[in-house]
Amino acid sequence: MSNMPTHTRLLRHAPEGFLSPADILAVQQGRRGVLSSAFKAALSVGALSALPVNRAIAQAATASGLAGEAAGDPNILQLPLHSKALGQGVATTGYGSPSAYEKNLQRRQSPGLTQVTQASVSFCPLQGLFGIITPNGLHFERHHQGWWDIDPTQHRFMVNGSDERMLKRPMVFTMDDLLRLPSVTRTHFIECGANSGMEWGNAAVPTVQYTHGMMSCSEFTGVPLRMLLEMCGADFKRGKFVLAEGADGSSMTRTIPMSLIQDDEVMVAYGQNGEMLRPENGYPLRLVVPGVQGVSWVKYLRRIELGDMPYATKDEVVGYVDLMKDGQHRQYTSIQEVKSVITSPSGGQRILAKGFQNISGLAWSGRGKIKRVDVSVDGGINWREARLQTPIQSKCWTRFQLDWNWAGDAALLMSRAIDEVGHIQPTYAQNRKVRGSRGIYHNNSIQTWSVEQSGEVKNVQLA
């Protein structure tokens, strides 16, 4: 171990910050009986009911010195203070926060990606999330002109038509008006169209947080836009598109086709995971456009206009157009196509012991539900079908898992998702054939993580 580069000691097993560098060293050196209870907890995470999994876990535990020996673990034998003394009282914090031991789990900027933080992005730590819900404080952020905490009593939301025949009664809603109306609640992913955009040319960033973290998934609550348009006497024959406009300085404006709105999926949302939206995510009101790229989910939503043509706004002409291989651009490609990624083990992590490894990741499609996820540990030669965690919801993250026995050999981990319309997630080679390698948007290529014999996991791309 002495010739190991020092930086590897900083690499941690998921979830991030779970094991201290001393714990990692202990596992690597195979010291027995000194494992922290944290590692035990790590081993007990997940569905362990199936017998083969139990056996694999037992093997993993034995290999790391957990089972068999009564080595006199002081963490068991010496009662800690929290078992003997009085804990803290209720409402010590009026709004709770994560454990101090989880402080490594942070959304992060990509150093050097943007010049100012107000027109930038912070990435969601996908490697540290369980299930399919993103905690509100870890939701990725994308601002074009900085975020604001807008006074909801002052916020106004207007619905108008491009001319008076389009919509009979233009209306202005306060937040109170909207909160009085019947609401709907649904769980959906939001993915920036530029997610994985840095990877079009080559493997550029080290961790899943940076390769795929311009994405989050939440339960949203709001009012269907269709209902508001009906209240305003919209002409659904004439009206073919709406323009959504935000109240921040970027004047974010996007065209949404009525075909999406007729489905009742598009909502004017104020709720996120059971509470009001966070200021960074558009408080007090944002548009939720399931399956569509993040830019159309206009935050600080102040106006919807009904019209009969796409609006070709600055955010639909200068940016958010797809560069193709022949140098032309493709416009209005807004659906986030079928995609998946293994979040553990993933880039920057290190597998600490041979034996059982739970491969876990996320799959999603802007066209509906995930039908199947296949996982390969040999760079795409052989594939095994992963277990999907139910319920599987439309335009929502689906968590997948696969049991793996890591024998200590080099491996190439990949996941490939298939959605309910039958679309199969493409390889980099397939995507580049059509799209080239110089674009930014809509990269849904299969991600590869290389596991080295040392257990180190790295971001790679296969030729």
Q: Report the C-alpha gap between 285 and 170 in whole angstroms.
A: 19
DSSP state of 160: E
Choose between 24 and 287: whose C-beta lies nearer to Mo ion. Answer: 287
Q: Considering only 133-141, 179-187, 232-240, 393-401, which stretch makes contact with ligand MTE by CB under 6 A?
A: 133-141
User: How far apart are alpha carbons 452 and 450 in whole angstroms?
Assistant: 6
CB 426 within 8 Å of CB 446: yes
| Residue 299 binds ligand MTE (CB under 6 A) | yes
Q: Can you tell me the distance from the alpha carbon of 194 to that of 211, in angstroms, rounded to the nearest whole number? A: 10
Site for Mo ion in 182-201 (CB under 5 A): 192
If one asks whether residue 244 binds ligand MTE (CB under 6 A), the answer comes out as no
The alpha-helical segments, DSSP class H, found in 323-448 are 428-435
Question: What beta strand segments (E) does 290-346 contain?
Answer: 301-307, 322-323, 329-330, 339-344
Q: Helix, strand or coil for residue 24?
A: helix
Asked if 139 interacts with ligand MTE (CB under 6 A), we say yes
Asked if residue 141 binds ligand MTE (CB under 6 A), the reply is: yes
CB of 378 to ligand MTE, least distance (A): 35
# chain residues binding Mo ion, by CB under 5 A: 4
How long is the chain? 463
SS3 212: helix
Site string for ligand MTE, 191-230 (x = CB under 6 A): -x--------------------------------------
The DSSP secondary structure of 224-249, one letter per residue, reads EHHHHHHHTTB-TTT--EEEEEESST
155 makes contact with ligand MTE (CB under 6 A): no
Alpha carbons 60 and 235: distance in angstroms, whole number: 64
To the nearest whole angstrom, how small is the minimum distance from the Cβ of residue 256 to ligand MTE? 12
Does 294 sit near Mo ion (CB under 5 A)?
A: yes
Q: Which residue has the tokens 């199969």?
A: 424
Nearer to ligand MTE among residue 36 and residue 273 (C-beta): 273
Distance in Å, CB of 144 to Mo ion, minimum: 9
Q: Binding pattern to Mo ion, positions 101-140, x when CB under 5 A?
A: ----------------------------------------
User: Does residue 294 interact with ligand MTE by CB under 6 A?
Assistant: yes
| Of positions 23, 248, 316, 322, contacts ligand MTE by CB under 6 A | 248
Q: Which of 178, 198, 258, 298 binds ligand MTE (CB under 6 A)?
A: 298
Task: For residues 152 and 149, give the distance between their C-alpha atoms in angstroms, rounded to a whole number.
Answer: 9
SS3 content of the chain, % helix, strand, coil (to 5): 20, 30, 50
Residue number with CB closer to ligand MTE (139 or 399): 139
- The residues pairing with 244 across neighbouring beta strands, listed in sequence order, are 254, 304
From candidates 12, 142, 339, 432, binder to ligand MTE by CB under 6 A: 142
Q: How far is CA 336 from the centre of its chain?
A: 13
Instruction: Please report the beta strands in 15-137, taking only residues with DSSP state E, as ranges in sequence order.
Output: 108-109, 120-123
Give the one entry of Mo ion, ligand MTE, none that residue 322 binds, where binding means its C-beta sits below a cut-off of 5 to 8 angstroms depending on kind: none
Question: In the range 71-130, which residues lie near ligand MTE by CB under 6 A?
Answer: none
Does 292 interact with ligand MTE (rule: CB under 6 A)? no
Between 142 and 423, CB nearer to ligand MTE: 142
Rounded Cα distance between 30 and 393, Å, is 43
- Binding-site ranges for Mo ion (CB under 5 A): 142, 192, 294-295
- Binding-site ranges for ligand MTE (CB under 6 A): 139-144, 192, 246, 248, 250, 252, 280-282, 294-295, 297-300
